Structure 1
Amino acid sequence: MQPTSNDDGVQRTWLRGVAALRPVLMIAVVLAVVALAWFAARRLTGEVSYQDLMAALSQMPWWAILAAIALTGISFAALTVYDFQALDFVERTVPRGMVALASFSAYAVGNTAGFGPLTAGAVRYRFYSPYGVEPDVIARIVVFASAAFGIGLTGVIGLGFLVAGDDFDSLSIAPVGLQILGGVITAALIGLWLGAGKGRSVTLFGYQVALPGRGLLIRQFLATSVDVAASAAVLWVLLPPGAIGLPTFIIIYSVAIGLGVLSHVPAGLGVFETVIIAALGPRVDVDQVLGALVLYRVIYHLVPLALAALILSALEVRRAAAAPMMAAALRGSTRLAPAVLGALAFAIAAIEIFSGVTPLSERSVAWLTDRVPLSLVEAATFFDSILSVLLLVVARGLVYRLDGAWWAALIIVPLSIVLSLVKSVALVEVALLSLLFVALLLSRRHFSRHASLLHQALTPNWVLAVATLLITAFALLFYAYQDVEYANDLWWQFEFDQNASRSLRAMLGVMMTATVVAALSLLRPVRERLAPPSEEDIKKALEIGRQQPRIESAFVAMGDKSVLFSEDGKAFIMYGRQGRSWVALSDPIGPREAWPSLIWRFVEMARAVGGRAVFYQAGPDALSLYADAGLSAFKLGEEARVYLPEFTLQGSKRANLRNCMNRSTRDGLTFSILSTAEIPAHLDELRAVSDAWMTYHNVREKRFSLGAFDPDYLYQTPIGILCQEGRIVAFASLLLTDHKVEASVDLMRFLPGSVHGVMETLLVHVILHFQSQGYEWFRMGMAPLSGLSDSAAAPIWHRVGRMVFDHGEWFYNFSGLRTFKAKFYPQWQPRYLVVSGGISPMLALADITVLISGGLKGVIGK
């Protein structure tokens, strides 16, 4: 029985509700995993005291620490192979030094901040885009690296179970079961290798996925094996000698890493530790396992992040270096500085919070007792916990390049240095804070955005990271004082040896500050709703546009787009809203230096009311600015641009254009320009041509990215006309600026039944006119979906778009439009749809279609 329409409506409503709640449900699930992981870890370490853990750390031999650092270097060296292989797979070339620096920075940030594909992808974009690597290609690089790691890790686990299944006696699964599982995994990977080959592809979940060559697969598997083995050995050398064999431990480590990735918990925190403790508990003292895990996190996660910050600081100092290779590295690295410094600030804030909720060492207590008043120690511990939470907020602002975040960090970090010395003589914390302070001073010029720190939208990733940190702090607090019975009096005990009381108050400071910050963020005022532009706004925008080389500003005269001006009033974005999409037409218009902050303001304005920011027909030159604001680019098509100084009607290639012009002369067509003052006198005749054209084509007026027959709009610019026997048979509104760099046409209409090829003739006349006026470029508009790759390795966006381009004549003559423009032998430049929020670009494109069509009725009725 077929469902009724009412059932369909209920189902759609239910699905929309689930989609709307998906971010919240995802946060809830991941936080539940974190809480369960730390609860399990707490049960597994129930017999180990905090003092035992500190003793295990103090007994760690120096040779083991040095070996762990060396093995970390080997692991990160193997990680660079991922990027080399990925670039080879997507057939792109980037200097080797740049690839090494990009790979190290990407994994240093991704391993610590979590959400590796997202954070590491942003880092790679900043490094590779200056070398012509397109956004969709960088996305393929990220997918390749993620898939390579997943397949390689699975292969290591499979081979380990197959060869060493008998060694896992701590698991409840019989050895033969593990060996069978390992055999199945190994056989599947061998099948993948046999089926692989350059040019081949497989279909997964309805998507066609290109396969790399067999040689590349072998090289990548070896690189992943070295990476996993070296990173596992980092933790293994920190365990007691002879506790467990390295081959067996590599398999345990691989399972722990895999479960941490699948849990979606930032950096696998808690999940990874629980698996390692559960697997090694029967073999090694739990306090020694915990000590090794703490040092592992510091050496493998924190040290590379600090080293990345040092590298960026050194490059800032050498910013005047003239060597081309150094200059290229400098450009990529310093643009990455905010992301690295933000991650470092977040990590340091976490260390500060953990320090506040754990006991002071006996040595620190003894030193402080004789030199620092108790009241200062208590106050320093409490206020440092507050500053640590504020540093978390500042860390996010640093990633977003806020100048307020930079100034706040410049105040918080020195205060934290003083408080860290007073509360516990924490020299490691002081060293890290000092490193952050110096890096901030050297990177001042990268933090120039003016925006509120507290009025930022709380993204799911950010909520997860902070919540994971707070849950971990609670777990540490209860673990450190598991032998202390809770009593209300603990809150009021002030003694040097009352660590539990001091930590409770520090945790209270953390929670109070986090609650206030969350409340201020959630209760932030909703920004002003979309309002139509005033006449003053339109005049101001048109004046800005006339002083720029680009011609898009003319569309603001339609009055159907709102205007967002930069803070200095020298640049603007024109935009419309449809559904949840806030759509900006083209790149910002105005001086280039105003673009970054203007893009950020637009993105934040959309996010503040739950919308998605979209830039329609963005150019390739500004893609790095959009990436910095967390936006993703999808190729829309290509724009035809005629270079006027070289345009000619001579030669065999231009024979059709010459014939068209000769025919128009025989037919008595004459071309002329109507100035803005002359247009009102000819408005009725122009309207008659326009109405006849629309009736003939059975279309409605378009809006947003196209001009409409609106007198107020037409009066803004000259109009080129073709006349026959004194009667206008075709016209085109001309788009131009005072710079004479670019020119174009917008509204083009002709009288049906007039001379054959009249539009082609009109375009040639317009091009020759602008050529005679000294203009450099004539823009012929975009050919939608043109230039998309049809390769099996191309992203799904490209392949769907290419299919529509080749076979979509029923909807629109895509290929015919490109063929027509190709007659003028233009240069083709890509145009992009830039979208925020990680949503499907199809939703944004659907909203844009409604905007251009003047409403849903316009979409249905042309």
Structure 2
Amino acid sequence: MKPSPSLAPPTAAPAEAPEPARRSRWATLRPWVVPAIVLVLAVLLIDALQVLLSQVHYLDVIAAAAATPHLDMIFAVLATALSYLILTGYDFSSLAYVGAKVPRPTILLTSFVAYALGNTVGLGVLTGGTVRMRLYAAAGVEASKVAQAIAFNAGAFGLGMTAFGAAGLLWGAPQVADLLKMPAWALQGLSGLVLVGIAGFVLLCARFTTLPIAGRWKVPLPNAGLAIRQLVISAADLSAAAAALWFLLPDNVVDLPTFVAFYAVAMALGVISHVPGGLGVFEAVILLACGGRAPTEQIAGALILYRGIYFILPLIVAAILLATFELRSTAVAKVGRAAMKLTPGLLAGLACIAGIMLLVSGVTPTTSDAVAELLELNVPLFVVEAAHLIGSVMGLVLLFVSRGLLHRLDAAWWAALGAAIVAGVLALPKGIAVSELAVMGLLALLLITSRKQFYRRSSLFTQTFEKGWLIAVACVLAALTWILFFAYRDVDYADRMWWEFAMDSSASRSMRAMMAVAIIALVFGLWQLFRQPAGTSAPPSTDDLAKADTVVRAQAAADACLALMGDKSLLFSPSGKSFIMYGKQGRSWIALGDPVGVAKEWPELVWRFIEMAHGNGGRAAFYKARPQTLPLYLDAGLRAFKLGEEAYVTLHDFSLQGSRRANVRHGVSRAEREGSSFEIVSPPDVHTILDEIREISDLWLAQHNAQEKGFSLGAFDDDYVQRQPVAVVRAKGRIVAFATLMSPEVLRVEVSVDLMRQRPDSPAGTMDFLFAKLMLHFQSLGYQRFSLGMAPMSGMVDHQLAPRWHRFGRLMFQYGERFYNFRGLRSFKDKFDPVWEARYLVAQGGINPLFALTDTAALIGGGLKGVIAK
């Protein structure tokens, strides 16, 4: 219900408390500081690896990896499988901690997919957390409990790694001391203190159920048994993961207990670096730790194999596992269908890895055996040259289209499939690259199997690549350049190499391939940075409003009628059967409600709207999203923040009888005794009462010292008012109150009031009379429910672990009466005994919701001046 413009959300009461100034400055600088740190770290890593591998030859590393005994690789695979199996213990523990019951197969599937994706992509809390949120929610676990379980997993991993590292350091202190140039007794003392601290934490869990923080919050503690079990799980997992690498190392390099200490240090530094999978950081630490104990090329070969076995192999297995769900999609349960929607993320990771594999292959020499075989098969030289160059370009294509796969773009699917097929076909003439052929074939097969997951009809060239993505590609190219020089360090450079074509001229081919890839990437990157962004915010034309009117009439949601106000821009789907209505304030692009129209077109519209906002340097937000549509926004990387609750009266069983609606019944009876009458004027006849209801509107605004609002609230605009039915209440022959109605008539699901105003001297109980009559009228027409509108800040979670958003909203609801009639509005709606349904602001995290809500209030109030005025 929108009985007055004063029901706009209070701008002084955002759903998140203001952050300190330093936090705001950090949020502004973070998009630039974090990529800069990653770049600096990449340069330092390349420099460190250059020193470590100064006496190592590329072919020696490949030979060492190829010479690894098959039995050792089998043991490494078994240790990897054991590690991933033990990792499921984290999920079992976290679900026990929050008191959620989930079937064992669901836990095993969720844990494996989450860790397979998180370990490879990095940012495990985010990537793995997204997997857990989707699959556990599909299994019936509340979102708040899933969030607590994710937090428990992160904390348990950190605590377990700390305990594991400290125990390993206590055992292998003499060896680690040589590496860190510190006294062994100091390391043993430090690790002993850490272990004592962890023992103290376990005792704390045994004695207390909660842990006070800063005197204001209390965090529930796991019981001592659960804490000890989690420490055992962490130790077993990290031991198995360390063993997977230890089996691949040369014999007698270091004993396993000492190596696990090195492994823990390398893992910790890799996590802290935020580099995906700790790539480069982990390797540098292991090379430093094991240097001098075995030939460096053998250690480097073991690290290459470990990356493939522990990181890439589980990702491939997870993708194949989800592909089996695709093949039997009609038989899988709800969790299986939710798991299938994770396929694009896994395939994006695989495409990225396949692209890097092709690029690395392009800058490294072909083996002498492969050259001899190509000569024996009489493969023409120009075919070998073309295969090498095109294969490298296909690697760059896969690197860029992986982002489109992540966003489920149809065009990205076709591009990835084409690149995989082309690279696979060229793998043999390129250099008898059987492994590349296998990987490209598998990628193509998985893409074909998962075709229906890539349903977004969009052009690749409309994508806007963030600066962070372009910087990541630049880091890959920098690493390729280093690999190129590393692989051909013994080849003397000469100008003639650029145009030297021979079967055994691998260096020349690699240089040309690298140059082609670098030029294409540079041109594409510059085009992305300097191209004119698409998308504008403009009022809808008369034709747009007519097209929107056709769509709105067939909708279930009554507030879709707000599109007809003409004050919001409209983003239509290609078919014209769906649209998003939105407004722009400052840098905020704010969609009002969910998409309107054909439901299958909504995901594409959501993505297009987000990309349009980002392309114009803005932030995207969705105001008053409904619970049923939250997966659309979560898939797009946004977060939901509760605004309040909307009240509905179910009409099929509505009646004025009974004690719950006694006040309303008595008000209706009194109004009828005093001569009040109810009437609904259809749109063609609204012009006959327009002057009279405009007078009422002006009197109401003057009485409340208010001005017309907009965006999410109707304003008294002649054209807009005449588009809708108008309900009027007459007393002694004159109109004393009116309400414009939002009532899509095709489906007849939901009806709501838009503008609702009355004369200052209208009889008491007029509005109760109007509402009751409206509900009875639309009940007779077969509508299912009557919306009373939203009660802002109501229904916030009252729990000690509730997020700050809910805590602030609860405070405003209880003590913010001087700003807004929160409790009074809730009480008015409660007397109709409604059903309450949550409404959300959906936006990016950080301080973005604060800006989005402030800008939304400005849109509603007609600018910041209107907000402050009232």
Specify which of 234, 238, 244 is matched with residue 244 of structure 2.
234
Q: Which of the residues 359, 362, 369 maps onto 2:365?
A: 359
- Give the whole-Å Cα distance in 2 for the aligned partners of 1:204 and 1:533: 52
2:546 to 539, 546, 554: 539
Aligned to 1:762: 770
Distance 1:300 1:175, change over 3 A: same
Would the aligned equivalents of 1:129 and 1:624 in 2 still touch at CA under 8 Å?
Answer: no
What is the match of residue 148 of structure 1? 156
Residue 262 of structure 2: aligned partner: 252
Hey, what does 2:82 align to over in structure 1?
74
| TM-score, reference length from structure 1 | 0.94
Counterpart-to-counterpart distance in 1, 2:774 and 2:639:
36
C-alpha separation in 2, matches of 1:781 and 1:199: 41
1:607 pairs with 2:614: yes
Task: Give the secondary-structure state (helix, strand or coil) at the position aligned to 2:190.
Answer: helix
* 1:413-466 deviation line (CA, Å, top 9, x unaligned): 111012111112111111111111111111222222122213322225423432
2:348 is the counterpart of 1:342: yes
Q: 2:649 corresponds to which residue?
A: 642
Moved more, 414-423 or 84-93: 84-93
| 1:586, distance to aligned residue in structure 2 (A) | 0.7
Q: 2:197 aligns with which of 188, 191, 197?
A: 188
Matched with 1:575 is 582
Worse overlay, 395-404 or 501-510: 501-510
1:33 aligns with 2:41: yes
Question: In structure 2, the residue corresponding to 1:168 is in which secondary structure?
Answer: helix
| Percent identical | 46
Q: Which of 163, 180, 184 lines up with 1:175 in the alignment?
A: 184
Where do 1:230-309 residues align within 5 Å? 230-309=240-319
- SS at 1:677's partner residue? helix
How do 1:455-466 residues align onto structure 2 when only pairs under 5 Å count? 455-466=462-473
- Taking structure 2 as the reference length, the TM-score comes to 0.93
Indicate if the aligned counterparts of 1:135 and 1:632 stay in contact, CA closer than 8 A.
Answer: no
Contact 1:165–1:175 (CA under 8 A) maintained in structure 2:
yes
Among residues 836, 841, 852, which one is paired with 1:833 in the alignment? 841
Task: Select the residue among 386, 390, 405 that pairs with 2:393.
Answer: 386
Give 1:181's aligned amino acid. Answer: L
Aligned-partner Cα distance in 1 for 2:761–2:233:
68
My pick for the range that moved more, 642-651 or 344-353, is 642-651
Question: 1:503 aligned to 2:503?
Answer: no
Which digits, 9 at most, give the CA deviation of each residue in 1:799-839, with x for residues without a partner? 22222222222222223322222222222222111114765
The residue type equivalent to 1:458 in the other structure is: F
Q: CA deviation at 1:138?
A: 4.3
Contact 1:393–1:453 under 8 Å retained in 2: no
Label 1:815 to 1:177 Cα distance change in 2 as closer, same or farther (>3 A).
farther
Distance change >3 Å, CA 616–CA 66, structure 1 → 2: same
Q: Distance in 2 between matches of 1:110 and 1:391?
A: 20
Per the alignment, residue 828 of structure 2 pairs with 820
Asked if 1 retains the 8 angstrom alpha-carbon contact of 2:408 and 2:455, the reply is yes
2:497 maps to which residue? 490
Contact persistence 1:550–1:741 (CA under 8 A)? yes
Quote the Cα distance in structure 2 between the aligned partners of 1:26 and 1:534.
43
- Tell me, in whole angstroms, the C-alpha distance in 2 between the residues paired with 1:76 and 1:305: 12
Larger relative contact order (Cα-Cα within 8 Å, sequence gap ≥ 6)? 2
130 and 496 in structure 1: CA distance in 2 versus 1, 3 angstrom threshold = same
- Alpha-carbon spacing, 1:420–1:43, altered in 2? closer, same or farther (3 Å): same
Instruction: Check the 8 A contact 1:394/1:408 in 2, yes or no.
Output: yes
Summarize the alignment of residues 747-786 of structure 1 with structure 2, pairs less than 5 Å apart: 747-786=755-794
Deviations 1:165-196 (A, max 9, x none): 23423221211221232233234333444444
**Within 1, Cα distance between the matches of 2:415 and 2:373?**
31
Could you tell me whether the CA contact under 8 Å between 2:620 and 2:843 is conserved in 1? yes
1 CA distance for matches of 2:22 and 2:319? 47
SS in 1 for 2:723: coil
User: Are the counterparts in 1 of residues 668 and 769 from structure 2 also a CA contact under 8 Å?
Assistant: yes
Alignment of 1:558 onto 2:565: yes
- Aligned partners of 2:863, 2:666: CA distance in 1, in Å? 41
For residues 161 and 810 of structure 1, what CA distance do their matches in structure 2 show? 60
In the TM superposition, what is the alpha-carbon distance from 1:489 to its structure 2 partner? 3.1
Residues 1:461 and 1:522: Cα distance change in structure 2 (over 3 Å): closer
How far apart, in 2, do the equivalents of 1:746 and 1:272 lie?
Answer: 60
- Residue pairs, 1:667-678, within 5 angstroms: 667-678=674-685
List aligned pairs for 1:515-526, cutoff 5 A.
Answer: 515-526=522-533
Q: CA separation of 1:98/1:377 partners in 2, compared to 1, >3 Å: closer, same or farther? A: same
Mark the CA change 1:608 to 1:103 in structure 2 (over 3 Å): closer, same or farther: same
TM-fit CA distance, 1:630: 2.3
Partner of 1:817: helix, strand, or coil?
helix
Gap change, CA 1:78 and 1:817, over 3 Å in 2: farther
Contact 1:38 1:271 in 2 (8 A): no
Is the CA contact (8 Å cut-off) linking 2:534 and 2:612 kept in structure 1?
yes
Indicate how the Cα distance of structure 1 residues 113 and 205 shifts in structure 2: closer, same or farther if over 3 A, else same. farther
The aligned residue for residue 726 of structure 2 is: 719
Displacement of 1:669 in angstroms is: 2.6
Q: Structure 1, unaligned stretches of length 5 or more?
A: 1-11
Task: Sort the Cα spacing of 1:554 and 1:488 in 2 relative to 1 into closer, same or farther, 3 A.
Answer: same
Cα offsets for 1:644-698 (capped at 9, x unmatched): 1112222222222222223323443322222223322222332232223223322
| 1:701-712 → structure 2 map (5 Å cutoff) | 701-712=708-719
Deviation at 1:210, TM superposition (A): 4.8
Tell me by how many angstroms 1:120 deviates. 2.3
Residue 357 of structure 1 deviates from its aligned partner by 1.3
Change (3 A) 1:131 1:541: farther
| Contact 1:207-1:796 at 8 Å conserved across structures | no
**2:376 aligned with 1:370:** yes
- Three-state SS of the structure 1 residue aligned to 2:640 is strand
Residues 137 and 855 (structure 1 numbering): CA distance in 2 closer, same or farther, change over 3 Å? farther
Q: Per the alignment, do residues 799 and 209 of structure 1 end up closer, same or farther by CA in structure 2, a change over 3 Å counting?
A: farther
- State the Cα deviation string for residues 113-140 of structure 1 (Å, max 9, x = none): 2232332233334323434556565444
- Taking a change above 3 Å as real, the CA distance of residues 308 and 42 of structure 1, as seen in their structure-2 partners, is same
The code of the aligned residue for 1:96 comes to R
Given that residues 212 and 219 in structure 2 are in contact (C-alpha distance below 8 angstroms), is that contact kept between their aligned partners in structure 1? Answer: yes
The Cα offsets for residues 567-586 of structure 1, whole Å up to 9 and x where unpaired, read as 00101111000111111111
- Partners of 1:54 and 1:661 in 2: CA distance: 88
Whether the 8 Å contact between 1:675 and 1:718 is mirrored in structure 2 is: yes
Superposed CA offset, 1:474-514 (max 9, x none): 23222222223333333233333333222222221221221
Distance in 2 between the 1:511 and 1:609 partners? 27
Distance 1:205 1:32 in 2: 40
Instruction: Tell me what 1:4 maps to.
Output: none
Residue 273 of structure 1: how far off its partner (Å): 0.7
Pair 1:388–1:169, CA change in 2 (3 A): same
Task: State the AA in 1 paired with 2:343.
Answer: A
Q: Secondary structure at the match of 2:460?
A: coil
What RMSD, in angstroms, separates the aligned Cα atoms of the two structures?
Answer: 2.4
Q: Cα–Cα, structure 1 residues 838 and 364, in superposed 2: closer, same or farther, change >3 Å? A: farther
